[in-house]
Amino acid sequence: MLVAHGSRRQASNQEVELLVEQLRQRLSGKFERVEGAFLELAEPAVDQQLCELAAAGIEEIVILPYFLAAGKHVEHDLPELLEQTRKQYPQCQLTLLNHIGLLPGLLSLIEQVLD
C-alpha cells in the first residue's frame, strides 16, 4: 500500500494512481494486491483502505509512505492510523517501510538528472 499526501489538484492524485497501477503490474507476482491511499484531500483515505484490506482477510500489509521528508504526516499521523488498525484487526500484520526520501539510490538518481 502506497500512502501519498493527497492534493486538491486531481492531476496530482492521478500521478499517484498511475504509479500504483505501474507497481501493481510489476509486483503482481510478489503481492496479492497493490493499492494506494491518501492522508488528506483525496480518496481512498488511509484508514479506509487499511480497514478494507484487513477486513478482506489480508494477512500482511506493507505500507510505503510516498513522502520525501519525514514531517508530521510520516512521523505521527501515519503511525497513529496504523495503531488504530492494529487494535481493530490484530490478526493483520502491518509493516511500515521507510519513506521514499530514505530510499537507497535516490541521491544517485538526483545526481544523474543534474549531470
Among candidate residues 85, 82, 44, the one with its CA nearest the CA of residue 64: 82
CA distances from 43 to 50, 97, 109 (A): 12, 21, 30
Q: Taking contact as CB under 8 A, which single stretch among the options 1-9, 49-57, 77-85, 86-94 is the one that binds its own copies?
A: 1-9
Radius of gyration of the chain (CA): 15
We find the least distance from the C-beta atom of residue 36 to its own copies, in angstroms, to be 11
Task: Give the three-class secondary structure for 36.
Answer: strand
Strands (E), the chain: 2-4, 36-38, 60-65, 93-96
Q: Which of 16, 37, 39, 53 binds its own copies (CB under 8 A)?
A: 16
For the chain, report the end-to-end CA distance as a whole number of angstroms. Answer: 33
Q: Which of 57, 90, 91, 115 binds its own copies (CB under 8 A)?
A: 115
Contact code string over 17-56 relative to its own copies, x by CB under 8 A:
--x--xx--xx--xx-------------------------
Among candidate residues 34, 32, 62, 46, the one with its CA nearest the CA of residue 4: 46
Q: Is residue 110 part of the contact set for its own copies (CB under 8 A)?
A: yes
Report the interface residues with its own copies, using CB under 8 A: 4-5, 7-9, 11-13, 15-16, 19, 22-23, 26-27, 30-31, 62, 64, 66-72, 75, 97-98, 100-101, 103-107, 109-115
Q: Which residues are catalytic, by number? A: 5
